[in-house]
Structure 1
């Protein structure tokens, strides 16, 4: 209410900006939020919330207190889209507590009241434990550097506290690890007959008070401790007179629901794994020199024409189906044949070798596949996206007589981790993200994954299979293995790329080169390695939408068709003429 000017045009909460939030895409939510978007209505709701909050601070235990709690929950949700800036975990916890206590106060059944109190108590344990274990996965939280790092930030930092961490680094490390221990072990409040409740609640409360003063998280100081009375109530032994007759069936119900969820997750994971391993009705298999079993698909003309075979090699943690818009276009509208495959460990392909993985293994596999599947009277045009671009460059040097050209789609460059600050800084985050995904999905959490927006831009008949691959731990384990090899290989690159006899086309995404100008320099350098190389930029595209967005994919097809025609490899102009069928 004090900052009501932020609702004026140009303010942080200008409705003309806030209404573009993803939640307002739902027509019902949009109509409701539009009704309260006016400044006067919004301020009136905030005034009502303030009045009800003051009323809740007054003593008493009437039903009106329950109604007031539910009003605060409902109005918070109503204004969520109107005031997205500033909402945080404290608001979520406050909503949880207000909803549960409001419903408990309005209920006439003691068992129902206990169920709601148990719900808050279990949510408290879950919130602390989840926060602690997630922090524990971060290297900075384990080595003790996270606390000083936070204290020196502009948003949450506190200069005096930061100086203390530098003056007493060992004490700062002990403090940080103590917080981790408190969060990770908070569920032990339910052990030892409740005797651990007081010290754990005191530790958690002290943690929030310290955060309130040091980090400015004042709302956390009130929101999270609001769960502590429920924790105290549910941890007390049933022999205690204040909890006599407490109904503890909520714990058994939660355990049954958890067991059911685990079982459902296992079933879904097994079903998706079966879909992934099954492949397509047209899938074929090939065993490489390493014993790896590769699954591949072919399409297009195979009637004696000498038009090239386009061999597609996907990027890191990517699928061969990412090329669907491009491969379908060439299959339907050109003389070229198409071959796409999954590297060992992806989709239905199996890595059987037990040798340590290097990028040469993937290059060997691709070389064997080309020699075995591309007819002798036809040459191959290798098409690689991201990491796939580096793999096709390496394999082209081994079989120059079988290669008619190379098409790089926003490719990796072997020097990118040395020359690009952006790529180098992002390497660790990428490594951590892939490792976390592999670990969590292996535990069955794939059932919790939501469909990424880019997936629903692929052709309809590919989407479910691609989603099954992304919720399968095999893809992430393969990606983790590959990225470790990429980092080792790229960071030791000596800067010398051998000349390649075949011509090349580099198709770059505009956002890639705009965000990192060094990438364009490396793309031009890659073009000069070839006998003839050309760089083309697809305006508006980013690294992934270059393939997954039909408009950008068809522009990529246009560039590829021009390249094939210029090199004498293309036999049909129909692919280049069909951009009118983009949508």
Structure 2
């Protein structure tokens, strides 16, 4: 396939995609009105419109009449590109289509998908190639699309291969039974012929994973590979309703055909292949940059804070911790224990409030494997190891004449519950922040179902970050809700595979431990306070029952009971300043109650001494 023929076929297939898209929007133009799926008063609050300059630009083209006019113009230009011709004006038409797709992206948050993105990619490349006067530039642009096509198939296949359902053959029947992309007749066929369905699914996996081999054998594999890929998209169009995918993804195939042909073929004589070498150099540079950035972040993670210290536990583990607040021997020390795949900095809003605005000292630490804490134990990990480490931390860090208030979030809540009997009379109270419960995987269907998803998420994150992909990891919104000086440190930890490896180890132990839990929670003599996030208890009533059981397990005076922070969810309870400060206020009230109960107990035990003190 020659250069001009490849561009011609590609731009026509991409034009069919855009024509179909715009005709759909014109047919459903009522959705542009108030209350519709594409009502601009709602769409303008989408993530694509957060930038003020972008919002101002999209406001200019997002009026109902303007939007309809743009789609009408796009349809007309698309029809024009379907006509014969090879002029440079076709380049302007392609760029118009890709440009208006970008302008309308925020306008049509519902309805845009991968097909529009692929069409935009092809139209941008063919538009620039048409306007270019040099064959070298045109070849570079065609190579760009061809490499993107190879990546789109190859990466998609290898990512699917990671999932259990694609390997076991469960994915195809699962997709076919959905309302959005499913087909009842196709689903029945998968149930009637499960072995054939599994072969089909594995065939699709093989096609996608091995697609890059299209560049092997000097072009002899081009026709069978592209024919298989094209058949795949045609089938999806009829079975899954992905009509635009059929024309969008096949619009990249002519570029693949052009670039896979050997240079000795007359149709591609003089083709410039330097883009491949340039891509290789960029890839090598990207890998080197990723490695350097990962090393820099790892150093920042291990280094901790200027005030960080370490203790060594009975298992040989080194725990990194930080302290703050006032050294008042009459008040308990607050010891914070973080949740699964969480950092000690998650408590920043709360720890800073107590460190600077109360009489209490605070201790926040990282479990082995997190931050600068290192795990040296060679025994298989169990939750008891973390409980032992927490006990050793308290005994070594907190002076013997000081009592402690143990504060735990999520998994940290279960760890402080288990360690409290070991510390006996040193524990003045326990504060649970949306805590885990040892029976939750058995009694909460939501938690039980979510356990597998969490396990897979942690496994994927561990695998990908170990490969050095932290450089492309986007920064979660909740990170920027933490106090400013903590954000970079927390993000560095989340892009480091060490955190996810530790979480993977812990979650495996949690599942084994929680699924074998029997009986009731042992009574706890110290007072306790459970602070729950409203969204947690609203979405899972079983969790509310478990929290109440945890409250009832505490027997000591000064009980805090169960408190709910309105609107908060499991994570924002700590990371959002509004909710964290509410939680801190509830904790302060609880500490006051604990102190008053302790004073009353002392008065009852030593009435004469108390009377003398009052005199």
Partner of 1:499: 523
CA–CA distance in structure 2, aligned partners of residues 8 and 478 of structure 1: 50
CA–CA distance in structure 1, aligned partners of residues 185 and 364 of structure 2: 59
Question: Structure 2 matches for 1:527-542, cutoff 5 A?
Answer: 527-532=551-556, 533=559, 534-542=561-569
Partner of 2:404: 380
How far apart are residue 335 of structure 1 and its match? 1.4
CA–CA distance in structure 1, aligned partners of residues 321 and 507 of structure 2: 22
Equivalent residue for 2:157, pick from 105, 125, 132? 132
Partner of 2:603: none
What TM-score, normalized to structure 2?
0.92
The Cα offsets for residues 406-446 of structure 1, whole Å up to 9 and x where unpaired, read as 00000001111111111111111111111101110111110
Partner of 1:410: 434
Do residues 443 (structure 1) and 467 (structure 2) align? yes
Equivalent residue for 2:584, pick from 538, 557, 565? 557
CA–CA distance in structure 2, aligned partners of residues 222 and 567 of structure 1: 69
Question: Structure 2 matches for 1:308-347, cutoff 5 A?
Answer: 308-347=332-371
Question: Structure 2 matches for 1:213-224, cutoff 5 A?
Answer: 213-224=238-249
CA–CA distance in structure 1, aligned partners of residues 577 and 65 of structure 2: 44
CA–CA distance in structure 1, aligned partners of residues 178 and 570 of structure 2: 31
Aligned positions, number: 570
Question: Structure 2 matches for 1:461-500, cutoff 5 A?
Answer: 461-500=485-524
CA–CA distance in structure 2, aligned partners of residues 47 and 474 of structure 1: 53
CA–CA distance in structure 2, aligned partners of residues 385 and 570 of structure 1: 25
Q: Secondary structure at the match of 1:493?
A: coil
Partner of 1:575: none
Partner of 2:42: 17
CA–CA distance in structure 2, aligned partners of residues 83 and 493 of structure 1: 49
Contact 1:308 1:570 in 2 (8 A): no
Do residues 272 (structure 1) and 270 (structure 2) align? no
The Cα offsets for residues 368-399 of structure 1, whole Å up to 9 and x where unpaired, read as 11111111111111000000000000000212
Partner of 2:423: 399
Partner of 1:168: 193
Contact 1:335 1:570 in 2 (8 A): no
- Report runs of 4+ in structure 1 exceeding 6 Å deviation: none
Partner of 1:38: 63
What TM-score, normalized to structure 1?
0.97
How far apart are residue 302 of structure 1 and its match? 2.0
The Cα offsets for residues 233-261 of structure 1, whole Å up to 9 and x where unpaired, read as 00000000000010000000000000000
How far apart are residue 552 of structure 1 and its match? 1.0
How far apart are residue 570 of structure 1 and its match? 10
CA–CA distance in structure 1, aligned partners of residues 306 and 41 of structure 2: 49
Q: 1:570 to 1:264 in 2, by over 3 A?
A: farther
CA–CA distance in structure 1, aligned partners of residues 463 and 570 of structure 2: 25
CA–CA distance in structure 1, aligned partners of residues 475 and 186 of structure 2: 42
How far apart are residue 495 of structure 1 and its match? 3.1
Q: Secondary structure at the match of 2:334?
A: strand
Do residues 295 (structure 1) and 326 (structure 2) align? no
Partner of 2:575: 548
Moved more, 325-334 or 46-55: 325-334
The Cα RMSD (Å) is 1.1
CA–CA distance in structure 2, aligned partners of residues 109 and 570 of structure 1: 85
Partner of 2:76: 51
**Could you list the runs of 5+ residues in structure 1 that have no partner in the other structure?**
572-583
CA–CA distance in structure 2, aligned partners of residues 331 and 155 of structure 1: 52
